[in-house]
């Protein structure tokens, strides 16, 4: 999970979707990048909403946009 505070964006890491490559490329620009332990890195959307959103939201700023990469399995 990466948080871009200035850009008001949260990128959730989803296993097997290439988010490690995204993290490698974008983490230097992120305000916060959770890498370890993996349960923090792979926080689900519901967990982010209930546990972490309130840490990063500010009343005088626009709300955070949350995004995740989705995979379309071939099977």
- pLDDT tens-digit profile of 14-70? 888 888 898 899 999 999 998 888 878 888 889 889 988 888 888 899 999 999 988
Q: Specify the residue for token string 């349960």.
A: 39
Vertex 23 angle, CA 19 and 26, to 5°: 130
Name the residue ranges covered by the structural domains of the chain.
2-68
CA gap 66, 8 in Å, rounded: 9
Report the DSSP beta bridge partners of residue 4.
Answer: 9
pTM of the model: 0.81
Helix intervals (H) in the chain: 19-26, 38-41, 45-47, 53-56
pLDDT beyond 70 at 75: no
The residue among 72 and 67 whose pLDDT is bigger is 67
């Amino acid at each position: 999970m990466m948080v871009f505070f200035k850009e008001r964006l949260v990128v959730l890491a989803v296993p097997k979707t290439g988010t490690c490559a995204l993290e490698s490329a974008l983490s230097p620009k992120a305000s916060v990048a959770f890498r370890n332990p993996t349960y923090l890195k792979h926080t689900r959307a519901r967990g982010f909403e209930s546990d972490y959103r309130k840490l990063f939201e500010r009343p005088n700023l626009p709300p955070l946009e949350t995004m995740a990469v989705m995979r379309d399995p071939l099977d």
